[in-house]
Structure 1
Amino acid sequence: MPAARPAAMRFILITVLIDMVSIGLIVPVLPLIVGTFTASPTEQTFWFGVVTFSFGLANFLASPVLGALSDRYGRRPVLLLGFTGLATSFFVTGLATALWMLIAVRLFSGAMQSNAAVANAYVADITAPEDRARRFGLLGAMFGLGFILGPAAGGLLGAIDVHLPFFVAGTLAVLNGLYGWFVLPESLPPERRRPFEWRRANPVSALRGLAALRGVGSLVAVIGLASLAQFTLHTSWVLYTTFKFGWGPAQNGASLFFVGLTSAFVQGFLLKHLLARFSPQRLASVGLVASSLTYLGFGLASQGWMMYAVILVGTLIGGGAQAAMQSLVSNAAGATEQGRTMGAVASLNSLSAVLAPVLSATLLGLVSHRPQGDAWIGLPFFFCALMQAVGASIAISHFRRHRREASAAAAA
């Protein structure tokens, strides 16, 4: 690899960290902003769902397009476009005077923002295939660290003024854009770029292309199930812990901080040692099974402290699965289609983000009348455990089949 590439990795890690901090800043206050335009908690819940759905839908449609554009024009200009979209979204949200403005700006932001997908493609550009799982883990650690720092700072700033986190987040997005403009190098050389094709850039074609990659196939279903389980957990966590243990904002904030901390440790430090001993396929298989048991543990926990024990054990054992899966998909894609491939994965994740709130609200609605501490309040997590178990079985069968095919080809 060229000598400049280690520096490029440091640049993209800093870019992702600033990006995630700016996004995390608005997490505690966006529902409150929606509440300023509604007359009741029921209206607030409904319109917050609409605002969230708007971003997810736009991101689902646009991620493959932006990924394919990064294959044509390079990663740097598409990242700069994403920073511009984020900054505009934050400032307009902070200044919004009507609910329709929030919905419109979330649609705009979702369509403009595919920084995670492009950052993954950037890492694939500058990293040899055998090192990608470790570096995707470092990228995941930056995501985790950003979501530790961002929501914590957003809560403090929101206590001063509910609009303040949006202006701080917008300022960070602008600074990230300036950092990208003056410092971040391009990762995709002209000879590895490919023409942009609309027929390949729509989400349906992109997902078909993802499934058609050699060695991927049914892993697309595994990624989709794991993503849906994860987003269902995210959208269920606060209400579940409130119903089950009577937790308030302080307890929920502390638990999410612990999730981010353990995730950053596993992906930023522990993963490289695990990869030295185990293959990405083995880490993915063990991690998916461990994640299924982790969801089950969350649902069965009868005391609040048990949640921390499940987080610790589950993250230490299963925290490397996502990076391992990502490296397998990236290594299956050619050097000229990393953006389109990572865009397809991001589109699949966005679709999960759209479906998860509906699922979690439905499942929680079925058990919300039960008394505090009742085991059935864990229904959303039992559902997550089932999805992850199905995904684990598909992945293990997929890896076994490919090992048999490889052995037969070697024997022949």
Structure 2
Amino acid sequence: MTPAQQPRREAAFIFILVTVALDMLALGVIIPVLPKLIVQFEGGDLGSAARIVGLFGLAWAAMQFFFQPVLGALSDHFGRRPVVLASNLGLGLDYIFMALAPSLPFLLIGRLISGATAASVSTANAYIADITPPEKRAGRFGLIGAAFGLGFVLGPAIGGALGAYDLRFPFWAAAAFSLANALYGYFILPESLPPEKRTTGIVWRSANVAGSLDFLRRDRALTLLSGALFLSYLAHESLPALFVLYTQQRYHWDVADTGWALAIVGVSQTIVSGGLVRPAVARLGEKVTLTIALVSGALGFLAFAFAPTGLGFMAGAPLVALWGMANPSFQGLATRLAGSSEQGRLQGALGSLRGVSGMTGPLIFSQIFAFSLSIDFFSGASYFAAAALLVSSLTLGLKAINYKLL
């Protein structure tokens, strides 16, 4: 990289950070109001609305599962810029569609579209791999994680404030964020993948779920690493699936208690992703950083499982936050196992794994929790299972590293 190219690439990286933050902000804005809007469509029937909310969550995760590989393969052929910009534009228009949705089926269609267009996160990760040397990628993926966290911390707060006036307002705000991002990117964002490094044709074999997962099986180290990442993704699903119900059942927290606790967790994870990943990887290397992250996460989940008081439960939050160093380390290691023209397919395949965890994790952990309550057994069993998943993730990750990467 020449000195003249460095400022341009730094500006491009900042745009990608802004893109991810605004995308997550837009998604976060509608979190507090989407269930309430569904309740409204269902005439106030909470039981019926709860089942539909679950269906909406499954539908969104399924679209992520199917479209991550597609957008990744498209970005390998056409470049990252058009895919990122099309996603921002599509999200903005879709939020307008949802703001105007006259009935529940229209709202579901909008949610399906947002699941497909939000799948461009894999392209954003490929963009980072394009413009960053391998040894610095983990740190930058950490900053992407911080942008995620910032969006999800601020988004629900903005959405809750706007939704207090009208349940449709947050959708308009989300549309404004996404459309402004598309306009900004149209004038600012350069292409990161030069024509000579693009695939000569769209690799349709990889632009689908089966093909993308087959892509991960082509190399033993990549197979082990992706398996470790999937187990980490799966453990993460225990947080959104159980946090509210578990703390209500065990510690009798009300809505305010839960809100403050989630804010503390979100801020802690943002600080770790944005401030600790880069110096940790630079000083310790990805192998040691990954080990510390997964061990910390496992200990944090054990604290969640066994803490007798709410204060003890929150003592596990910093440990779970340190686990936030794992995903950037995984991503940085994985990018070394794919060529420059394959980063989109790699990120699409890894995104599909996240889609699988998003579809299966909530069901698994909620059923463990429900079963433990039904037999009056250890109610922290779900978080104990999450800790076990992280130990398994560490085992596979170290095998992958020792096999080929280091």
TM-score, scaled relative to structure 1? 0.92
1:18–1:176 CA contact under 8 A, matched in 2: yes
Paired position in structure 2 for 1:255: 261
Identity among equivalent positions (%) equals 38
Q: Look up the match of 1:409.
A: none
Query: Residue 296 of structure 1 contacts residue 381 of structure 1 at CA under 8 Å; is this kept in 2?
Result: yes
Structure 1: gaps of 5 or more residues: 407-412
* 1:280-299 to 2 correspondences below 5 Å: 280-299=286-305
Q: For the Cα contact (< 8 Å) 1:214–1:332, is it kept in 2?
A: no
Does structure 1 residue 94 correspond to structure 2 residue 99? yes
Q: Which residue of 2 aligns with 1:395?
A: 397
Aligned to 1:222: 228
Alignment of 1:340-351 (within 5 A): 340-351=345-356
Q: Which residue of 1 aligns with 2:215?
A: 209
Residues 333-377 of structure 1 show CA distances to partners (whole Å, capped at 9, x for unaligned) of: 10001111101111110111111222233123224468xxx8822
Matched residue of 1:218: which SS? helix
The SS at the match of 2:237 is helix
TM-score (norm: length of structure 2): 0.94
* Secondary structure at 1:199 match in 2: coil
For the 8 Å contact 2:216–2:346, the answer to whether it is kept is: yes
Q: CA deviation at 1:44?
A: 1.0
CA displacement 1:100-132 (0-9 Å, x = unmatched): 112222222222222211111111110011110
- 1:76 matched to 2:76? The reply is no
Structure 2: runs of 5 or more not aligned: none
Distance 1:293 1:21 in 2: 30
Retained in 2: the 8 A contact 1:218–1:398? Answer: yes
1, 10, 13: which one aligns with 1:9: 13
Distance 1:400 1:122 in 2: 27
Q: Per the alignment, in what secondary structure is the counterpart of residue 284 of structure 2?
A: coil
Instruction: Report the Cα distance in structure 1 between the residues aligned to 2:55 and 2:122, rounded to whole angstroms.
Output: 24
TM-fit CA distance, 1:173: 0.9
2:334 equivalent to 1:329: yes
Structure 2 counterpart of 1:35, from 23, 27, 39: 39
Q: How big is the alpha-carbon RMSD for the aligned residues of Structure 1 and Structure 2? A: 1.8
Question: 4+ residue runs of structure 1 moved beyond 6 angstroms?
Answer: none
Provide the residue aligned with 2:181 in structure 1. Answer: 176
- Structure 2 residue aligned with 1:54, among 59, 63, 74? 59
Q: Deviations over 1:32-67 (max 9, x none)?
A: 111112252221111111111111111111110111
Q: Which residue of 1 aligns with 2:363?
A: 358
Aligned residues: 400
Distance 1:89 1:32 in 2: 19
Pairing partner for 1:271 from 271, 277, 280: 277
- In the alignment, which residue of structure 2 is the partner of 1:22? 26
The corresponding residue for 1:144 is 149
CA 1:375 to 1:292, structure 2 compared with 1: closer, same or farther past 3 Å?
Answer: farther
